[in-house]
Each structure stands twice: as C-alpha cells, then as structure tokens.
Structure 1
Amino acid sequence: MMEPFRLKTVACCVGAALGSFTSAGTYADSATPRGTPTVLGNALNPGALNTVPARDPDGLDAQAFPRSPTGFLYGWPKLPLETKETQSGWLYSGQAELGGLGVFGDTDNAWFQQYKDLKSGPYLNNFSFQASQPGTALFFETYGGGIGYSDQFIGAKAGRFNDWKLDLFYTEIPHEFTSNYRLIWSGEGSKDLNLDGLKPGEAVNAATTQATIQDALTRVEETDLGLVRKQGGFNVEKYLTNEWRVFGGYNLEKREGERPFGAVFGGGGGGGNVEIPESIDYETQNFLAGLRFDDGLNNLNLQAEASLFRNRVGTMTFENPLFITTNTITGVSPSTFTSGRYDLYPNNDYYNILGEYGRNFPDFYKARLTAVASLAWMKQDDDLIAPTTFSLAGGNINGVSTENMWNTTRANSKQSADAEINTQLFSLGLVMSPTDKLDVEGKIRYYETENKTEFFACNPLTGQWGRLLNDGSGGSFVVPNPTAGSNPAGTLPTAYNQAGCNLAAVRELGLVPSAGNVKIRNTPYDYKQMNYVLSGDYDLGRASSLNLTLEREEFDRAYRERDSTWENSLELGYTNRGFSFGTIRVSAEYAERRGDTYNIEADPNSSSAIFGPAPEANGTNVASWIHAPSGLRKFDLADRDQTTLNGRVNVIATESVDVGLVLQYQNNDYPASDIGRTDRYRIGSASLDVNYQPSAAFGLYGFYTYQQGNMKQSGIQSLGCVIGNYYYFYSDGSIATNTTGIAPAPLNSGARLRDQTRVSGTNWHSLCGDESAINPLYNTARAWSVESDDYNHTFGVGGRYDFGWARVELDYTYTTGVTQIGYNYNPNALGITNPDTLALIGSGMPDLNTTQQFADLNLIVPVNKSVAVRALYRYETGSIDDWHYDGVSENPMPTANTLYLDSGPEDYSASVVGLFVQVTF
C-alpha cells in the first residue's frame, strides 16, 4: 500500500514554507494514471532544476560528517531559498535562470539530438515559485524549464494540507532516430508518401531502375527523421474524512513525426526491399479514478483505469521506386506494383480494475496481511484492409484468376480484427515477526492471460487458403500436393477451394497438402503463472542479519513448445552494518528451471499440415513439415541453471571519505540445449566509487565500472529432405543427392564418401527431424555457431569548490563499449567459396565500438544575495564503428532491388556554451 496522503502533503507544505524546492517534480505512483512521467526535466535539468546553489555550511545537523545506516556520507545539503512573507501570511520564495545558449559543432547529429533540443539563442533554463500559508494550510508550487523548445517542461501543484491536492504538468521529449536519411518522398508524417523526382513503375527492368535511383540519390541531401512526444495532464486527491479519500487523474500524450521503417515486396524474403519513413501520429488518453481508506490497521485501495490509444494515420500508402520481382502470382507485370500499404498499429483500448487490501495485526506477531486482485481487458477491433489495392487483372494464383478477387475487404475471412486479450492477477501475502529477531514473509501470486483472438487465412471469394503478401507481389498458399502418388489421379489444385473456407470440410477431403508450414490461423498465445515465495530475515546481532528466500515459479502455456515449465530458486544474503570500517552486503542465488516434454511442433493446428495426411510419395520435399531441428531450445523455455552473486562493501576510509565496491556476477547454463542459446551466458561487473566531502565548500567524487558479458548460440543451415532421394555425405562436409543410388564423385579433391542414406515415405520424419551426421535437412556438418563478447567501461570524476567570490562545479563521464563477434562454420558443407566471406570465419568479423564523453563545467559568480551569474560549458563527443552500416553511405543501392536510405549513426562532437542570470526572490 502507498504511504498515507497526509505524509506526502506535510513534506510538500513544509518544503514550500522553508523554501527548499529542489526537485523538478516527481509524479508516478499508483495514484496517477499510467504514462504519467516519473520526473519532469530535460538535458540541462536532469531530474532536478539545475540552479547550482551554494551548499549549507551548517550541514544536516550538529553531527559532523553524518552517514546513512549503510555507511554513506550524507551530501552537504544545498542552501535553501530564503522565504518572504506577505501581509496575508503567505510565505513564498522563487527563482529563475535565464540567458542564452551558443551551440557549436555537429549539432545536427541525431546522436547529439536524441533526447534534447539545444540551439543557439535566448533560453529560459528554469524557474520555480513556491508559497504556503500556514494559517490555512494552503500551498502552491510551479516550476519549469526549456520553455519554447521541444524538450520543455512545466508543472504546478496546489492544495490544502490534509484536505486536497491538484497536480498539473506538461512535458515534451524529442527523439531523433537518424540524421542521415535520404528522403525521396514528400508527404512524410501523413497517410500518403509520394515519390519526388522518381516515377513508380516507369522502368522496364530492374537494372535501369537501379541506375535511375542511384543517379537521383546524388541530388538528395541527407535529412533527419524523428518525433516529439508531448504529454500533459493532471492528478487530484481529496480527503472525504480522516480515513477516506478519493483520487483521480488524466493525461493526454501525442507523438508526431517519422522513423525509418522496412518495406518489402515479393514473397518469402521479398523481391524488393526499401527503407521508408513511417508516419507517426499517435494519441493516447489515460484515465484513473480511485478510493482509499486508512485507519491505521486497515488499508484499502480501489481504482479503475482506462488507456485509449488512437493511431491518426491508420493505413499508410507509399509509392514504390523499385522494379521488383514477384512470387506466386503469374500473369501480372512487376511494374504493376507501383505502391504499397501498411495498416499501422491499430486503435486499441485497455481497461483495468484493481483492489488492494492490507490489514495489520499488531498483537499477532506484528503481522500484516496483504491481498491484491486485478482484472484487465485489452481490446482492438480495427477494420481490416483489403489484401491489395490493385485489380491484378490477368493474374493467376494456382489456377484461379486474381482479377478483382483480392482488392476488396470481402477477400478477408472477417471484416474486423475483433481481437481481445484479458488478464487477471491475484496475490496474497503475509508478513510476521514470530520473535524479536526473526521476520518471516510468505506470498502467493497468480497471473493469467487469456487470448480470445482468432483469424483464418482464407479468401471467401475464391476459397483459397493462404495469404496474399505485399500488395499482391507475393503469396503463401496451400493446395493439394501435385507430386505424383500423393493424391488420387486427377486431383485439381483447386480442390480445397470447393470447401468454401470450411476447415472441417477441407480435412474431410483427405488430400496431402503441398506444404506443411503455410500459416492458416493465428496463434493465440496465452499462459498461466504461479509464484510461491517464502522468505525470512534473522538478526544475528545488533547490526547484522541473515536472510533466506525460497521461490517457485510455475508456467502453464498454450501453443508453446512446452506446456509447462517450473523454476525453483534459493537466495541467501548476509548484511553487517556493525563493522567500524563500514558495511558489507553479500548474497548468492541459485535457480533451476525445468519443464515437461519439449515439442518442436508447438501449434500444429495453425499450419497447413493439419489439412491432410503426411506425404509418402517419392519426389516430395517434406522440409516444410519439419518446424525445426529436434535439438533446438528457445531460451525462455529451455532448461536453465542460473547462479547469481552480489556483493557490496562500503568503507569509511576517513571521516570525510567513503569508498564503495560492488561486484556482480551471473551465470546462465543451458544443460539440454543443443541448438539455440547453448553452453553458458555469463555477465559480470565490478564498480568502484569514491566520495570525498571535507566541507561545504569542497567535494570530489569518482567512479569506475567494468562489465563483461559472453553469449553463445548455434544453429544448422537447412538443406532439403526429398522422399525417394539418396543423400551422400563426404568427409569435407559437402552433401550430394540423386535418385540413382550411385554415389557421385566428391566436389572437392581429397574428400571421401563418409556415409549415405535414403529418405523414404516412412522414415523421413525421424531421419530429417533429428539433427545428425546423416540428416539431409539438418546435417551437423552444416552447423554454425556464434560467440559474442561484450566489454564496457564507464569512468567518471567530478567536484565542486567554493572560492567565496565564485563557485565551480565540474562533472566528466567517459563510457566505451566493444562487442566482438565470432562465427564458425564449415564452408565446404555450406558451399561457400568467396574469399572475403571465408576470411570472416572465426575472429574475422570486425568489432563494434562505441565511445561517448560528457563534460559539464559550471562557474557561478554571486553578484549579491539575490542575483548570480552562471557560465555553463558542456562538451559532448561520440564515436561509433558499426560494420552493419559499412559502405551504405557510399553505395546505398548495392543490388537492383535493395535500397538503403539510412546510412546509420555517425561520429560527432558538439559544445554548448551558456551564460545565465540567476535571480532569487
């Protein structure tokens, strides 16, 4: 349960009366709507108004160098603002800082601009005003910063102590995604993107189109893509009696802009790929209303909330600059596909009701009982769009005319999504102290998601099962298998169509499908989760304790490779605050996850394999009936042994110096994963921080953190599995196949025949499903592995000094990261001969490096008690070496049907100079 409202109000009013406003405003708790920002601020006011006041020479109290229970020095508090009083008894204080900024360097770099808006010109950095009237218990506060810029914020609070409170806020946050985007469309941010200087479908072949686009790009300047999030709202609380109060809130969030987005034409992997600017125009409204009760023994919280998301773009259409290749459809020219569409994130609603109850039993081992119940509903019923806008005249898919059969919403099996997911949460906890030295806590938690969404991929107009892809340029359909012997002679490819999208009628036909992996239904994932926790904390002495936690987690999942998983964990911790040199905290945890039988075919009812019998006829490639190699384990379902170690030592080096050392290590072992995330995933870190505070005038700090992680994964590149074929496996890993049963000569001289096998109508599932040295589909010679090592360093120093006539504060942070990736595979088995590709095996891949530095220098010169001048200098630099973007800027269209318009992040350095006048009143 949250703390009583009266305590928070006391802190608010006392702070206003003393003139000790230091925060830019904290909002988020259970009495505010979802989406409410936790802190209002911006880059120059991160989490608190950057007023850089003097430190209070009297400190916190009469004790010299006071420390927290964990051994940390309390910081020298900032000198509070002096308050003034009006004739009506109001106590007030305020401050403002305004001046100008000069911004120099790579100021248009997206990395520099990512979450801030710093430009040369006049700048109101921040302001605050607070007032209270002790006689009436009324109070008022307001604060803000960056006014007029896209990272501005402003807040206000008003109320009466122990009676009512109103919070208002408004904030903006920019997010630049890239500053190196070549925009070839107009209308960005809207529903329609129209090509500038290029005509869709004009060229007669891909090579001509490529040359035309490459020429046009030489005249296109790089621009930025980004969005601005604007959010405003209010929260209100009102006491009805000393025990009862009501609360509520509302906020509105809008996001407008663009970001890079991938578009694909063709089927499967696509016959045309281009980065388009996704138009963003989102609106989310959040509502909250609730009732609370607190009489000292009982606490009750009842609340209801709603979150309504609206996408003002809905469906976005863009003109296609590429001459693409098509897939599945025949009889339609690639130049037909002059545009594409995306039905963007749908409008959706979220509703939740929550009840929380707590009861103290002071006479029964100081016990406290807590209970939580929560029900939520997530719904969206977006109108579905037609699979294509084109008539597809003259086209044919599997013997059926496409003309005017797909450019209507009647081609969908339903007209709207009618999607719904419901959740429920129930929790019960008990805390008690059986003895003065022992605290015990038990908790049971149940959580469930229920997915009620259903969609079948079938066109009622034609009876065809499958999907038209990418506006008709591709498709994924299932028909009766045409391989001789699979189905009765004379079976037509349209046989399924006669069932009229009736799945039961299709299955009654008993026809072997052409493929086993065509999606015919959505997979409605849902699960149930149970957690049982028992913990105890035992006082070993006046300042030391031992704690033990036992937890069991159980999952029951639908449509996943494992129906059930369970995890047991044990955590042991020790704390000692009684050492003369400082404090020690250490803990160790071991967790073990296991589950029932792992089934690679998690949801067979969602794919076309359910249509009929499994294939047996010679010549049938059955690879699509095998979802994955049997040894594959998804990391969230796999058996896992996890060990976690944590330790912290706080050392009181001298009365004015404390030193902290933190060590963390986690090892995740996957003992039964042959393919997927294998072996171990390890991550560890060490941190050292030093704090020196000899006086209010002088202070220094420094810290260093090192983190290292290692992860391994493996997979097998699939080949094929054809019934009736012979497969020959050679010592160099290469594979050959034929139907004669006579082994061909090896492709590489010196290789010898190692083994051979034949796929039959009865052995194909076991032979091709289990990865092995004689598996045609998942042959272990075609296995690959990747190992990723990450190294990160963060270093920082800073300090402050008060000369009397001026105060100086300096903060510097340096962070760098390196990711090393190593791939290993047998090039002979994969048929790789390119020397450049062969050179990448092992440690041949280049490292990914990122480095950033930040330095902030503030010089404050007091003019008098009410006026000071602050000079600000900020320096930022960043460098990145990412092989993903190598060559993109120089060659944005390396192949005829692939167009990269974002050349990625770039190095930058930028400086910000500011001169401000601080006024207090």
Structure 2
Amino acid sequence: MNNVNANRAAVRSSMPPRVRMLSVLVGGALALMAAERVWADSAVGGDTTLGNALNLAPINPVTHTGGHDFDGMNGDPHAARTPTGQLYDRPRVPTDRIHATDGGWQYLGFVEFGLTHVSGDHREQGFKRYKDVGNGGYLSAFGVSAEKAGSAHYLEVVGGGAGRDDQFYGATFGRYNDWRVKAFYNETPHVFTTSFRSLWDGAGGKNLTLKPDSGLTPGGSGDQAADNQAITAAAQANMNTELGLVRKKGGLRLDMTLTDKLKLFAGYSLEKREGSRPFGSVWAGGGGQMPMELIEPIDYETHDFVGGLYYNDTLNSFNLQASASLFRNNAGTLNFETPFRVNAANTVAGATPGMFTSGRFDLYPDNEAYNIKGEYARKLPELMNGRFTAVVSMGSSRQDDKLMPYTSYSGLSPNISSSANWDSRDALSRQSADARIDTRLIDLGLSLNPTNRLNLKAKARYYETRNHTDYLACNPNAEYDDRGDGTPGGVSAFGCTGVWGRLINDGSASSMYNPAAPSGNVVIRSVPYDYRKLNTGLSADWRLDKASINAAYERETYSRDHRERDKTWEDKYKLGYVNRSIEDTTIRLSFAHDRRRGSSYHTHHPYANFLSGALAPMPETGNVQSWVLHMNNGMRKYDLADRTQNTLNARLNYMPREDLDIGLSAQLKEIRYPSSDYGRDGKHRQNWFNVDVDWQYSPVSNFYAFYSFQRGTLGQTGVPSGGGSGCIIGANTSMGVITPENAEDICQNPNSGAVFVAANFWELDHKDRSDTLGLGLRHDFGRFKVDFSYTYAKGRTEMKYSLPANLAPAAAAAAGSGFPDLSTSQNIFEANLLMPVNKTVTARLLLRHEYGKYRDWHYSGLQSDPVAVNAPGTGAPTAVILDAGPQNYRASLIGLLLQVRL
C-alpha cells in the first residue's frame, strides 16, 4: 500500500496520559474477572492463526493474490538467509490496486470463490477429521485492508470457508501506536468416528433410549443368546453413524497505549463444543461386567476473561495480568437404557433379575479457575551488564458440582446394612464436591555478562499445588446390622458416623467395609494429591570467534504428598557446542545427562489412611492381605522411579550453493530404570533422524524435500498376584514365617511366594517406528504458476510378550506371543495451478488426493459382529465394541476457484 510506511512513521510515538480512561478500563476488567462462573483456558481474547485445511497460511490481503517477488528481500535477487544461515522464503509481491474514498481512506481487497467437488471415500473419518469440504459453491477466502493517513486509523478483515464447519473470520482495527481491537470467530470440526453402530435414539443428547424397532429389551430379555443376536442385528442395521463435534470460538481483545511507558490490554473469548463421541460403561464389580460403548453428549461452554497492564522504561519492565474463566457442561448427566440382563452382586440387597433397565453417568463437572500473575524485569548495567527477572503467580481451580446418589434404584442397599436410602443424596457425606486446588509460583532469574563473550545465568523456580478436596465415602444416615460387637449401629471415623464404602455401577455391586468381617482395602476417602517442585540452575555460554560452548546444571526436587516416595531429586547436566568456522557449514551438538533418585519407596503406606484399614486394626490371625498389600514391593511407577537418561542432539546445516540448504539432524536418547524390578525396566530408546533440503534455484522457483525417521523401544515386566501360599499369619514362606510385624514386608515381596510368585513374571517389548516423507515444488512459468506437495506418513507399533509360567496351557496357546502389528499410513497429494485471466482475476485449479490405510488389532474380528463373548452366542459379552474403528479410505477433492482483486 503506497502510504503504509509513511502513515506509520507519521503517528506520534507518545500519547498523553489517560488516567480517567485507565480507571474505567481496569475497573471494568476487574469486574469481569470477579464475575461468577469463570474458568481459565488459553484466554487472552485471541486465538491461534486463523485458517482451515484449504487455507493453511495466514491471510494477508495486501499480498494474498500476488506471486513471489523477483527482487527478493530489500531489492536483492539473491536468496536471503537468517542469522543462523537458513534460507528465507521469498516475499510475495504486494498488490498495486489501491482505491481511495473522498473521506481519505485507502483500501484494497480480494475474494476467492468457486466450486468444489469431492469423490471417493470422502465421508470417512480419516479424510474429514478436521475439515469440512463438500460439493457445490465455496467461498474459500477474502480479505480487505484499509488505512486513513490523516488520522492513522486502519482496518483489516479476513475470512474463509464461509458456511462450512471450518469457517473462520477475523477483524483488526485501531490507530497506529495508540489502540487496537482484534476480533475473531472460527469453527473447527473433529470427527471421532464414522463407523459407529448405534443401538439408541437420542444420540448426542442426555438420554439414550433403545431403538424401538431394534428388538432390544431394556434390562434384557432373560435369554442371553437371543440378546447377543439382537445386539448384533441392531448394530448391523445402524452402521456408519458419525460421531464428532464442532468447536466454535470467538473473542475480542483490546490493546491500548496509555503513555509512553504504560499499556493496557483486556480480552474475552467464548468457546462452545457441541457433538458426541464414543464412551464406555460397565456394570457390577470385579472389574465390571459386560463393558459396552455408549455415546457421550458434548455440550460445553468456556468463557475466558483476561486483563492486565504493561509498563516499560529504560531500566524496568513490569507486567500484571489477571485471568478468570468458566467451564460449563450443559449436558451434565448421561442416562442410557441397557440391552443386558444385569446380575447384581450378592453383596447388594433388594436387587431382582431384570430390574437394571437403565444406567447413568455424572459427566464432567462445571468448574472455575482464577489466576493472577506479576512479571518484573530490571536491567543492571552496573552489575556486569546484567538483567534480573521475577515472576509471581497465584491460581485456584474449583468445582462444587452437586453429587449424585450412589444408585437411582430405590430399595437397594448393602446386605450388611438395614438402611435403604442409598438412592438419595442423604446417603452422601456431603451434598456437593467442594473441590479446590490452589497453585503458587515464584520464578527468579539473573543474567550477567562479565565480558562480551561470556554470559552467565542463574535461576530458581518454585511451584506448588495444594489440594483441599476431601470426600468421605460414609453414609451418615445408615447403620450396620452388626457393627462388629453383635449390635447394630454406625462406625465413627474422620468426623462421620455411619456405613463406610459405596454402591457402585448404579447399585449393581458394592465396595463396603464390614466391621463384622473387616477388610483393609475398601476405599473410604479421596486422596488429596499435591506436590511442591523446586528448580535451581546455573548456565554459561562462552562465545569464541566462530564457535560457542555452553554448559548448564539444574537440580529439580519434588516433594509429594500421598505418593510412594515423599521426595525425588533429579540432577540435569547439559553441554553444548556450536561451530560456524567450517566453510558453508554450521554444526550444533549437545549432550544431556539426567539422574533421578529419591527417598525410600513405600508401596502401601501412602494410601493406608484412605482405606478401610484405618477403621480397624489388622487382625493377628488369618489372612491379612487386604491390610498390607497395595502392590508388590519391586514395582516402581515411572514418574517416581530412579532414572538415568542420556540425550545426544546433533544438527548440521550445509550450504553447498548460495541458493541451496541441506540440513541433517538427529537425536539419540537412552533411558534406564536401574532400581525397578517390575514396571519399566531395561533400556528404553527414543531415536530420530531428519534430513531436509531447500533449493531456491530461481527467484520464483523453489523445491523442498524432507525425510524423518523415529523409533522408540521400551520394556515392561510384571508379576500377577495369585498362585502363592497366601498372606496368612503363621504361614511359612521362603522369607520366613509371616507375623503381624513382618506381614507387609513378606507379602509384598514376590520372592516370598506368598501373594506374588516371582517365577510367574511376564514381560512386554514395545516398539514404535514412524517414517515421514515430504516434497514440494513451486515454479512460475510466466503465463501460469504451479505448485504441488506430497506427504507420506507411516507408523507401526509392535508388541510382543512372554506369559506367566502358571498360566493354563489352553489360555497360553490362545494368547500367543504378541499382538498383531498396529499400523497406519497416509498419503496426501495437493496441487495448485494458477492462471491469470486479466489484471484483476486469476483462476485457481485445486487438486487434492488422500489415501489412508489402517490396521488396528483392537477392532479385529469386531467389524461385522460387535459382541465379543467367551462362550460364542450364549455367554455374557466380554465387551460390546460398537465403534468399528478407523476405515481405509481413498478420496479426492477438486476445486475451480477465482481470485478477484477488488
């Protein structure tokens, strides 16, 4: 645009104070933040780059319809390079079609529209996962830019995909160096599956009712074989149901310059997600009966608010930001009819065959979050030209969702209790969740430059979470038939007197503490996990003539509550080297060594106070497994285990010609867990290699290609419980006789053979490999321009295992030695041909072809019959998998579009 630079230069670099305006805006922003019903997400009142699958690059109305500039950057026809030596892409030519109004505005714009047609398997999930393309008219993109030189006002509007589920719009207007308002709206589809086989009406809503013509009976018919056949028939009659959502997000952001040193910003955004996705359910206990896929409704809203101030002078910078936001789930519950005859556990009184005709879920709760953050930086010119930085942040996440009763069926109760009020919220120890987690952050940094060649940095960062949530699984309005002394009544603990435990899966089973026959492993309280993390570190960067050496050390210390380890500490060392002295080549190398260790590891103690073992002492005779056993004592959770990690990174950039770049990069990572007898063990490797080529062989031509290879391996070892002599006081084991004093040490140890038997271990080897290849070409033939790109990606996962020695021969033969390989591959080809029709109109022919192929053993054998049973045709289903999984597809898109300069 002719006067763009002149207009910007003409605007005053300073603005008069606006104290009154500042008070109004800050007060308004704080009022919004104090508003009820708020939750925090990414809320800055803006969004990621606007676009969709057919408009990947940001839209610039000034250059969108222009070709690449023959003269390159700053009039230099040679390829321009970054300070690290890599090629810039050549800039586009700005339009010369500038229009003016009588009011002093200059403006320009463009619009791209036409027809599109899709063919092949374009309805499959792999093709349409994040895009919405179809047949007919299509407004691909548009943009308008305007400026008014006299007042320095400006306006820009862009958009695309109009009327589709991936449409986007953005507007920016304001006054240069004074104020700016940005507004946006976009939609993004996400298709989870196009091969779901629904048994219900009401998909996407809160109530799923079995299809009336499906032959399915709520609560089952009583004939399991007939029900299995009816489910299969109903699934086959309702194939290819699409489940997905559309994310709709819009927002506003205001930036205002108040003085030379002070700026203000405030923003708001609203995001709505509507749709559905697969969801799982089980009945009864013992890991659940008859797992079945359902349809979860999605109807979310997130309101985000943010506001703050920026201050900057020659020595100091200060930012203050406050945010608050709200998440609301408008589909808070899911009710569904079941086609199964559910057999309730014998621990539930009042249950009758066929009574469980429906179930329900309490879905994600409404929740809120608040945060306030202050950032300060100060230059220290007299202290080795240094700089000090500090960040302080406080946050709080909360939810107080109304809790649902344990069951929706009246008359049900544990068979150890005379009370039948478990279908009421009176059976709960509290009526709502009253959940809250607070966070705190302090981050300090100091950077010093003793010489022009040496930079030193020190940092300290403290972060903590505090979990204030405490729920008791105690029914204060129920009594035991026998509280352990031959009389009825409740058991008192933690401020509650009543019956401890819960009915589960809508009352079809129970997990209860029975004082007349006590056990130690019934969950009676929620565990308030929280932690504190401290990071301290030093680093140095020494710059030589054409090389540099850097080194860093950091210690990370975790202090955790209610975890197997109270504390872990990790020492991280890093050494790096950069060399630019080799002709036309830059080399970057770095090596990192991380070593994590920790305090004593306890598998049972962290959870003892949250289990029923806290209600009664461990008996001195009999089986005491439920009091002393949480996991075998050789098992290490990977985030707590001792770990040694080495990482080597390398990058080479070679410039064989002025217009050609070749890059090579690689990473080799090895992870060891030296103290883990069970869990992740051995050597885990994560390696990748990449080569890329960029050749700008003429001012208007470009070729690129890349290949990336990644490979990961990990191993796991486990040992199942069972098959031992039992954790019985007085029993003799290879580690001695079990007593109340040593029961925990002996029964947790697989070498004792009491509960775990070391010889019955199993092992898993997991290998991943992915290959990605891409290439593209752009060339200007004068009369027309062409560009095309091709991407190929393939991933493969291999899982092989050994089985426990005590597994039954028939089961071992059926299990084999591993799963079939899981693989995915995708090919995407896209080409554009642009041909000018006249000075203002360019025709664009778009071709896109995709081919996807999937092999997933999770769905093997279930594509035609979703009912998996142990005894074919007659047994209760092991699972009902209604999603047939990702399907192979081959689809094409062709578009004929016109680009018109306004």
TM-score between both structures, scaled by the size of structure 2: 0.89
Q: Where do 1:158-557 residues align within 5 Å? A: 158-197=173-212, 198-327=216-345, 328-392=347-411, 395=412, 397-401=414-418, 403=420, 405-462=421-478, 463-480=498-515, 482=517, 513=518, 515-541=519-545, 543-557=546-560
**What is the CA–CA distance in structure 2 between the aligned matches of 1:70 and 1:849, rounded to whole Å?**
38
> For residue 167 of structure 2, what is the aligned residue in structure 1?
152
2:82 to 68, 78, 96: 68
**What is the CA–CA distance in structure 1 between the aligned matches of 2:222 and 2:522, rounded to whole Å?**
33
Note closer, same or farther for the CA distance 1:456–1:466 as it changes in structure 2 (3 Å cut).
same
Note closer, same or farther for the CA distance 1:418–1:596 as it changes in structure 2 (3 Å cut).
same
**What is the CA–CA distance in structure 2 between the aligned matches of 1:370 and 1:10, rounded to whole Å?**
35
**What is the CA–CA distance in structure 1 between the aligned matches of 2:247 and 2:84, rounded to whole Å?**
39
Q: C-alpha offsets along residues 813-869 of structure 1, whole Å, 9 cap, x if unaligned?
A: 00111111110123x41224246425x22xx42111110111110000011221100
Q: How many residues align?
A: 833
**What is the CA–CA distance in structure 2 between the aligned matches of 1:810 and 1:779, rounded to whole Å?**
61
Note closer, same or farther for the CA distance 1:608–1:763 as it changes in structure 2 (3 Å cut).
same
1:831 to 805, 808, 814: 808
Q: Where do 1:509-908 residues align within 5 Å? A: 513=518, 515-541=519-545, 543-601=546-604, 602-618=606-622, 620=623, 622-623=625-626, 625-719=628-722, 722-723=726-727, 763-772=742-751, 774-826=752-804, 828-834=805-811, 836-838=813-815, 840-841=816-817, 844-895=818-869, 896-897=876-877, 898-908=879-889
**What is the CA–CA distance in structure 1 between the aligned matches of 2:452 and 2:357, rounded to whole Å?**
77
Secondary structure at the counterpart of residue 578 of structure 1? coil
1:70–1:582 CA contact under 8 A, matched in 2:
no
Q: C-alpha offsets along residues 339-359 of structure 1, whole Å, 9 cap, x if unaligned?
A: 111111111110011111111
**What is the CA–CA distance in structure 2 between the aligned matches of 1:726 and 1:833, rounded to whole Å?**
35
Alignment of 1:143 with 2:158, yes or no, is yes
Give the deviation of 1:34 after TM superposition: 4.7
Give the deviation of 1:480 after TM superposition: 2.6
**What is the CA–CA distance in structure 2 between the aligned matches of 1:75 and 1:710, rounded to whole Å?**
37
How much identity, in percent, do the aligned residues show? 42
Give the deviation of 1:133 after TM superposition: 2.3
1:722–1:759 CA contact under 8 A, matched in 2:
no
Q: Which stretch has the larger CA shift, 149-158 or 264-273?
A: 264-273
> For residue 82 of structure 1, what is the aligned residue in structure 2?
96
2:711–2:769 CA contact under 8 A, matched in 1:
yes
Note closer, same or farther for the CA distance 1:836–1:913 as it changes in structure 2 (3 Å cut).
farther
Q: Which runs of 5+ in 1 are unaligned?
A: 1-8, 17-29, 483-512, 730-754
**What is the CA–CA distance in structure 2 between the aligned matches of 1:766 and 1:698, rounded to whole Å?**
72
1:13–1:132 CA contact under 8 A, matched in 2:
no
Give the deviation of 1:581 after TM superposition: 1.7
1:365–1:433 CA contact under 8 A, matched in 2:
yes
**What is the CA–CA distance in structure 2 between the aligned matches of 1:12 and 1:351, rounded to whole Å?**
41
Alignment of 1:109 with 2:124, yes or no, is yes
Q: Which runs of 5+ in 2 are unaligned?
A: 12-39, 479-497, 870-875
Q: C-alpha offsets along residues 382-408 of structure 1, whole Å, 9 cap, x if unaligned?
A: 11111111113xx552332453x1110
Give the deviation of 1:35 after TM superposition: 7.7
**What is the CA–CA distance in structure 2 between the aligned matches of 1:767 and 1:891, rounded to whole Å?**
47
Give the deviation of 1:763 after TM superposition: 4.9
Note closer, same or farther for the CA distance 1:420–1:721 as it changes in structure 2 (3 Å cut).
farther
Give the deviation of 1:114 after TM superposition: 1.0
Secondary structure at the counterpart of residue 183 of structure 1? coil
2:47–2:184 CA contact under 8 A, matched in 1:
no
**What is the CA–CA distance in structure 2 between the aligned matches of 1:208 and 1:788, rounded to whole Å?**
40
1:771–1:778 CA contact under 8 A, matched in 2:
yes
1:334–1:473 CA contact under 8 A, matched in 2:
no
1:640–1:669 CA contact under 8 A, matched in 2:
yes
> For residue 23 of structure 1, what is the aligned residue in structure 2?
none
> For residue 53 of structure 2, what is the aligned residue in structure 1?
43
**What is the CA–CA distance in structure 2 between the aligned matches of 1:469 and 1:31, rounded to whole Å?**
33
**What is the CA–CA distance in structure 2 between the aligned matches of 1:440 and 1:11, rounded to whole Å?**
42
Letter in 2 for 1:869: A
Letter in 1 for 2:391: V
Letter in 2 for 1:813: T
1:573–1:586 CA contact under 8 A, matched in 2:
yes
Letter in 2 for 1:571: K
**What is the CA–CA distance in structure 2 between the aligned matches of 1:825 and 1:408, rounded to whole Å?**
46
Give the deviation of 1:481 after TM superposition: 5.5
Secondary structure at the counterpart of residue 348 of structure 2? coil
**What is the CA–CA distance in structure 2 between the aligned matches of 1:677 and 1:203, rounded to whole Å?**
46
Note closer, same or farther for the CA distance 1:101–1:398 as it changes in structure 2 (3 Å cut).
same
Q: C-alpha offsets along residues 722-764 of structure 1, whole Å, 9 cap, x if unaligned?
A: 35599999xxxxxxxxxxxxxxxxxxxxxxxxx8987565654
The Cα RMSD (Å) is 2.3
Letter in 1 for 2:79: F
**What is the CA–CA distance in structure 1 between the aligned matches of 2:691 and 2:864, rounded to whole Å?**
44
Q: Which stretch has the larger CA shift, 436-445 or 606-615?
A: 606-615
**What is the CA–CA distance in structure 1 between the aligned matches of 2:7 and 2:762, rounded to whole Å?**
61
Give the deviation of 1:457 after TM superposition: 0.4
Secondary structure at the counterpart of residue 471 of structure 1? coil
Moved over 6 A (4+): 9-14, 725-729, 755-758
